[in-house]
Each structure stands twice: as structure tokens, then as C-alpha cells.
Structure 1
Amino acid sequence: MIDVIDFGLTRDGENVQLYTLRNKNGLTAKITNYGGILTSFTLPLPNEEREIVLGFDSLEEYTNEEYLKNYPYFGALIGRFGNRINKGLVTLDEKEIQLPCNHGIHHLHGGNIGFDRKVWKAEIGNNTDLKLTYLSPDGEENFPGNLNTEVIYKLTDDNELQIHYKAVTDKTTPVNLTQHAYFNLSDNFESILDHQLQIDTEFILETDDLLIPSGKIYNIKNTLFDFRAKKQIDRDIEDIENYDDCFAFGKSTETPRKVAELSDKNGEVTMEVATTFPGLQVYTGKYIEAGKFGSFSGVALEAQGYPDAPNHANFQQGWLQPGEVYQHQTNYKLIF
């Protein structure tokens, strides 16, 4: 079941809606067609309706200058290319393409105005699926090709929020789509450091201090980055300071496989993450500073292709060719 209400006007006067998805068990997910943002995800517990994502109640809170100044991309769809591209440079047919460098000297999350700040066309299918579409024109943020993008949100009666991605292009172009929700499964938004996290891999991408991959896959077995056995996030945080790493699972898969599990301190609520993507960017939110939300108030679990993939042939997934279909799926399943 999906309800829709007006959510406000953009500065350009475009009308934006908020869509509420519900399942038979009382879960609700609220999504706006501005940036495809997941603004709210609540589940019914015996004594409360618990909110588990960081978000706001109005469009203005997502568009004001103060929020954008230290922009955390709360709950947004990210594209045309999520994560980082080294110095914003990619090479196609022996020619360099300079993408915007909006994060110091590097490109981040699609550039100055990425998919997270676009108004998507929304359609409701079978009163259960919210389909968002966006045509990114040739040359937008200096990316080549017209990219037709489709994202479908679906909330199932198995308490699973599914996100289905699809894209096609008429010119070869870098593509890496993801969803940038921050989760906090506790009964407050003070900190996720007491959450328990498990990640089903012993590999991450080796990166420099600015989180640009070297191209090497680093074995983290028995290191501070090893989450194969579930552990409290803050166990090694004094030494790590903040996790912001792409955990690597190898090749993409045709159907989603479980890659991670997050639980609140008491194990009252657990969320399983399953995806077809080869990577999971885990960001523990040290630098969050947005309204009522502060440092470590949420953890982002962003299933995606590898960052800077267009510059590393061994990473795959960096380029989309005409005639190919980019297709991925990520599921967030709640157990409570």
C-alpha cells in the first residue's frame, strides 16, 4: 500500500511528493521523489514505533544551505557515479574526461549536483512498488551519454525494503548507483557505536588517506577491520577513529546474497543486508553534523560497485556500454 502527499517546492518551483509504503506487519518507509530520499523507516515494537534511519520531515531541511554545507547525503539515491573518482579523471578512447572535483581534489557521489538533488519522476505500480525514473542528459556533470535510470523501492511482507536499480546509456559512461541511508536501530539517535556489526568478507579495498583505492584488495583477516564475527562497532574505534571503507565481495551476483548484519546493543532489532553488488561501503558517521544528528548517530551501509572503478580494470563494473543493461538489487531486511 502506498500513500502520497505533497512534500514542498524546490527553489526552482518544482512540486515534490512524499510516498509512504506500508506492509501488513506495520512497517512504513517514506520516500520522496526529490533525490529518491528514504526520509523515514519505522517498525512497530511492543511499546513504540521505532525510527531507524536518519532523516527530516520537510523538503526545506534537505535543501537549506546549512545542511548542504556539511552534506551527509541522508537517505539519497547516489549517481551517476557513487563514491570517489581519483582527481575526477577517467579515460575513454584514450581521451581524458574531467569530472567535477567537489570533494577536495576528487570527485564524489556524482559531482556538484548529483542524482541526490534531482526531482525524479514517480509512478506507483500495483500499489506496492514505487518506481522512480530520471534521464541524466549527455554532458550533465560532464558525464558522457544520456543515461536513463530507474530505481524501484518495494516494501515486502517479509519486512524487507528492496531497492532495484536499472540503467541504460547511448554512450559509454561511468556508472555506480547506490543508496545512502544511515541506520540507527536503537531507541535514540545518540550513537551507533554500541551496535553489533557483522560483514561476510575478509577483504577491503586498499585506499590512501583520502579514500582513493590503490587497485589492490587488502586481506583484513584478524585485523581491526575484520567483522566476519559480529562485534561491537566501538571495539576498535579508538585505533581506527572512523570506519569509511569499501568491503569487497568479489564479483557481482545475479541474485542478492547476504553480505552484512547489524543489530542494536540488546539485539532487539536486527537488519540483514543482501545485495548483488560487489562492494559495501561502511561509514560509521564520525563527521555527521546535521541538525539534531551528530557524530556517530548513524551508520551507512552502501552496497555499490567499487569506488574509482573506471580507473582500475580489475575492479570491473566501472563502465556501462550502449546495449548493456546495468541492473542491481539491494535488500534491507528487518528482524524484530
Structure 2
Amino acid sequence: MIDVIDFGLTRDGEKVQLFTLRNKNGLTAKITNYGGILTSFILPLPNEERNIVLGFDSLEEYTSDDYLSNYPYFGALIGRFGNRINKGIVTLDGEEIQLPCNHDMHHLHGGNIGFDRKVWKAEVINNEDLKLSYLSPDGEENFPGNLSTEVIYKLTDENELQIHYKAVTDKTTPINLTQHSYFNLSNNFESILNHKLQVDTAFILETNDFLIPSGKIYDIRKTLFDFQTKKSIDRDIEDIENYDDCYAFGESTETPRKVAELSDKDDVVTMEIATTLPGLQVYTGKYITAGKFGPFSGVALEAQGYPDAPNHKNFKHGWLKPGEVYQHQTNYKLIF
């Protein structure tokens, strides 16, 4: 079941709506077609309704100068290319393409105005699924090709929020779509440092100080980055300071496989993450300063392709060619 209300106007006067998805168990997910943002995800616990994602109640808060000045991308769909591209440069058919450098000297999350700040066309399917569509024109943020993207949000009666991605292009283009929600499974948005996390791989991408991959895959067994056995996020945080790493699972898969699990400190709520994508960016939110939310108020678990993939031949999924279909799925399943 999906309800629709007006959510306000953008600064350019575009009308924005807010869609509330419900399942038979009382879970509700609120999503706006501005940026495809998941504004809230509420669980019906015995003594409370608990929101488990960081977000706001109004469009104005998402578009304010204060929020955008230290922009954490709360809950948004990210494209055309999520995460980082080294110095914003990719090479196609021997020619360099310069993409916007909006994060120090590097490209981040699609550029100056990515998919996270676009108004998507919204369609409710069978009063169950929310389909969002966006046509990114050739040359937008200097990306080549007209990229037609659709994302379907589906809330199942198995308490699973599914995100289905699909895209086609008429010119070869870099692509890496993801969803940028920050999760906090506690009540009252306590620090996520007391959450317990498991990530089902022994490998992350080796990166430099700007989080640009070297192209090497780093074996993290028995290091502070190893979450193969579930552990509290704060166990090694004093030495790490902040996790912001892409955990590597190898090839993409045709159907989602479980890659991670997050629980609150008391094990009241557990969330399982499954995806067809080859990477999971784990960001523990040290630099969040947005409204009432501060450092470590949420953890981002972004299923995605590898950052800077177009610049590494051994990362095989950074490009989309005409005639190909980019198709992936990520599921967030709640157990409570």
C-alpha cells in the first residue's frame, strides 16, 4: 500500500511528493522523488515506533544551504557515478574526459548536482511498488551519453526493503549507482559506535588518504578492519578513528547474496544486507553535522561497484555500453 502527499517545491519551482510504503506488518518507508531519498524507515516495536534512518521531515531541510554546505547525502539515490573518481578523469577510446571535481581534487557521487538532487518521475505500480525514473542527458556533469535510469523501491511482507536498479545508455559511460541511507537501529539515535557489525568478506580495496583505490585488493584477516566475526563498531575505533572503506566481494551476482549484518547494542533490531553488487562502502559517519545529527549518529552501508572502477582494468564493472543493461538489486531486511 502506498500513500502520496505533497512534499513542497524545489527552488526552481518543481513539485515534489512524498510516498509512504507500508507492509502488512506495520513497517513504513517514506520516500520522496526529490533525489529518491528514503526520509524515514519506521519499525513497529512493542513499545515504540522506531525510525532507523537519518533524515528530515521537510524538503526545505534537504535543500537548505546549511545542509548542503557539509552534505552527507542522507538517504539519497547516487549517480551517475557513486563514490570517487581519481581527479575526476576517465579515459574512453584514448581520450580523457574531465568530470567535475567536487570533493577536494576528486569527483564524488556524480558531481556538483548528481541524481541525489534531481526530481525523479514517480509512478506507483499496483499500489505496491514505487518506480522512480530519471533521464540524465548527454553531457550532464560532463558524462557522455543519454542515461535512462529507473529505480524501484519495494517493501515486502518479509520486512525487506528492496531497491532494484536498471539503466541503459546510448553512449559508453561510467556508472555506479547506489543508495546512501545512514542507519541507526537504536532508539533516540544513540551513537552507532555501540552497534554490532558483520561484513562477510576478508577483503577491502586499498586506498590512499583521499580514499582513491590503488587497484589492489587488501587482505584484512586479523586486522582492525576485519568484521567477518560480528563485533562492536567501537572496538577498534580509537585506532581507526573512522571506517570509510569499500569491502570487496569480487564479481557481481545475478541474485542478491547476504554481505553484511548490523544490530543495535541490545539485539532488539537486526538488519541484513544482501546485494548483487560487488562492493559495500562502510562509513561510520565521523563527519556528520546536519541538523540534530552529529558524528557517529548513523552508519552508511552502501552496496555499489568499486570506486574509481573506470581507471582500473581489474575492476570490471565501471562502464555501461550501448546495448547493455545495468541491472542490480540491494535488499535491507529487518528482523525484530
- Give the TM bin, normalised by the shorter chain: over 0.9
Equivalent residue, structure 2, for 1:93? 93
Unaligned runs of 5+ in 2: none
Equivalent residue, structure 1, for 2:133? 133
Equivalent residue, structure 2, for 1:36? 36
Q: For the residues of structure 1 that align with 2:158 and 2:317, how far apart are their CA atoms?
A: 30
Q: For the residues of structure 2 that align with 1:117 and 1:75, how far apart are their CA atoms?
A: 11
Aligned to 1:60, the other structure's residue is in SS state: helix
Higher mean alpha-carbon deviation, 228-237 vs 181-190, is at 181-190
Aligned to 2:116, the other structure's residue is in SS state: helix
Aligned to 2:224, the other structure's residue is in SS state: coil
Aligned to 1:188, the other structure's residue is in SS state: helix
Q: For the residues of structure 1 that align with 2:51 and 2:11, how far apart are their CA atoms?
A: 29
Aligned to 2:62, the other structure's residue is in SS state: helix
Name the amino acid aligned to 2:214: S
Aligned to 1:25, the other structure's residue is in SS state: coil
Q: For the residues of structure 2 that align with 1:188 and 1:8, how far apart are their CA atoms?
A: 27
Equivalent residue, structure 2, for 1:280? 280
Tell me by how many angstroms 1:190 deviates: 2.8
Is 1:7 the counterpart of 2:1? The answer is: no
Aligned to 1:193, the other structure's residue is in SS state: helix
Q: For the residues of structure 1 that align with 2:297 and 2:191, how far apart are their CA atoms?
A: 4
Is 1:105 the counterpart of 2:105? The answer is: yes
Aligned to 2:39, the other structure's residue is in SS state: strand
Equivalent residue, structure 2, for 1:207? 207
Q: For the residues of structure 1 that align with 2:122 and 2:129, how far apart are their CA atoms?
A: 10
Q: For the residues of structure 2 that align with 1:49 and 1:107, how far apart are their CA atoms?
A: 38
Q: For the residues of structure 1 that align with 2:2 and 2:304, how far apart are their CA atoms?
A: 27
**TM-score when normalising by structure 1:** 1.00
Name the amino acid aligned to 1:35: G
Q: For the residues of structure 1 that align with 2:129 and 2:28, how far apart are their CA atoms?
A: 13
Equivalent residue, structure 1, for 2:217? 217
Q: For the residues of structure 2 that align with 1:127 and 1:71, how far apart are their CA atoms?
A: 33
Aligned to 1:82, the other structure's residue is in SS state: coil
Give every structure 1 segment of 4 or more consecutive aligned residues whose post-TM-superposition deviation is greater than 2 Å: none
Equivalent residue, structure 2, for 1:188? 188
1:91-122 deviations in whole A, cap 9, x for unaligned?
00000000000000000000000000000000
Equivalent residue, structure 2, for 1:120? 120
Tell me by how many angstroms 1:188 deviates: 1.6
Q: For the residues of structure 2 that align with 1:316 and 1:182, how far apart are their CA atoms?
A: 27
Name the amino acid aligned to 2:303: A
Aligned to 2:50, the other structure's residue is in SS state: strand
What is the identity percentage for the equivalent residue pairs of Structure 1 and Structure 2? 86
Equivalent residue, structure 1, for 2:146? 146
Equivalent residue, structure 2, for 1:268? 268
Equivalent residue, structure 2, for 1:47? 47
1:110-163 deviations in whole A, cap 9, x for unaligned?
000000000000000011100000000000000000000000000000000000
Q: For the residues of structure 2 that align with 1:317 and 1:81, how far apart are their CA atoms?
A: 12
Aligned to 1:317, the other structure's residue is in SS state: coil
1:308-323 alignment, distance < 5 Å: 308-323=308-323
1:279-331 deviations in whole A, cap 9, x for unaligned?
00000000000000000000000000000000001011100000000000000
Q: For the residues of structure 2 that align with 1:162 and 1:273, how far apart are their CA atoms?
A: 10
1:194-228 deviations in whole A, cap 9, x for unaligned?
00000000000000000000000000000000000
CA RMSD of aligned residues (A): 0.3
Equivalent residue, structure 1, for 2:295? 295
1:152-171 alignment, distance < 5 Å: 152-171=152-171
1:57-114 deviations in whole A, cap 9, x for unaligned?
0000000000000000000000000000000000000000000000000000000000
Q: For the residues of structure 2 that align with 1:237 and 1:36, how far apart are their CA atoms?
A: 32
Aligned to 1:314, the other structure's residue is in SS state: coil
Q: For the residues of structure 1 that align with 2:199 and 2:97, how far apart are their CA atoms?
A: 35
Unaligned runs of 5+ in 1: none
Q: For the residues of structure 1 that align with 2:22 and 2:43, how far apart are their CA atoms?
A: 10
Q: For the residues of structure 2 that align with 1:94 and 1:284, how far apart are their CA atoms?
A: 38
Q: For the residues of structure 2 that align with 1:225 and 1:315, how far apart are their CA atoms?
A: 21
Equivalent residue, structure 1, for 2:245? 245
Q: For the residues of structure 2 that align with 1:198 and 1:170, how far apart are their CA atoms?
A: 39
Q: For the residues of structure 1 that align with 2:8 and 2:213, how far apart are their CA atoms?
A: 39
Name the amino acid aligned to 2:44: P
Q: For the residues of structure 2 that align with 1:107 and 1:9, how far apart are their CA atoms?
A: 28
